[in-house]
Structure 1
């Protein structure tokens, strides 16, 4: 219950700050009748209402995952952040294969199957994104392809 109340209070404070920042949006002379402030204020109001409800009516105390699960989640976050930084310099295929293999290994710790899944996903997604969807991806690093 305490974790829900703390989270609800934090969400409410962030929502109120979001609403306050939304009121500072400058309107141009060609704005629509509703204006650019309305949508962010509505989002902030909904978030504030949800935070207040969570603070006033919390759920029972949750069962937090084991430390091993939290470690796996941390590894996944670090790998995905590294993936985002590796895409531009290394192309699509290599970082995607490594990331998919690591995440597949976390799901089912069999190295050969994880590696095959990584390579298969990488090449399959590249073909779909490049040729079926027409995205301008480069598959390999620029220093390899020239």
Structure 2
């Protein structure tokens, strides 16, 4: 319960700081009713309300994962951050196949199915995003295809 109360307090304080910074936004005389100043204040008010509710009605104390599980979560976080940085220079297919394969291996530690999952997700998502949704994805690094 104490962790929820601390989290609620942090959310409330951050939301109040967000509201305070939103009040400093300069608006012109031609702005709409929910403009550049009002909308952030509304978002901050909702966040502050949620933080207060979490403080007043906390959940029972959670069961925190062990060190091994926390290490797996940290590894997944590192993989996803590296994936985000690798997308632009390496294109979509290679980083997606590597990241999906590593995360699939983490779920079920069998190398061949994990590699096939990574390749399948990479190709399948590329087809969906590029051709079905019309996104401007680059498949490989620009120098590879001429």
1:77 is aligned to 77
Q: Whole-Å Cα distance in 1 between the matches of residues 120 and 78 of structure 2?
A: 22
1:56 Cα deviation after fit: 2.9
TM-score normalised to the size of structure 2? 0.94
1:32 is aligned to 32
> What root-mean-square deviation, in Å, do the aligned CA atoms of Structure 1 and Structure 2 show?
1.2
Deviates more, 1:49-58 or 1:6-15: 49-58
1:111 is aligned to 111
Does residue 90 (structure 1) correspond to residue 54 (structure 2)? The answer is no
1:21 is aligned to 21
SS for the counterpart of 1:27 is: coil
Structure 1 stretches of 4+ moved >6 Å: none
1:28 Cα deviation after fit: 2.4
TM-score normalised to the size of structure 1? 0.94
1:51 is aligned to 51
* Number of matched pairs: 146
SS for the counterpart of 1:143 is: coil
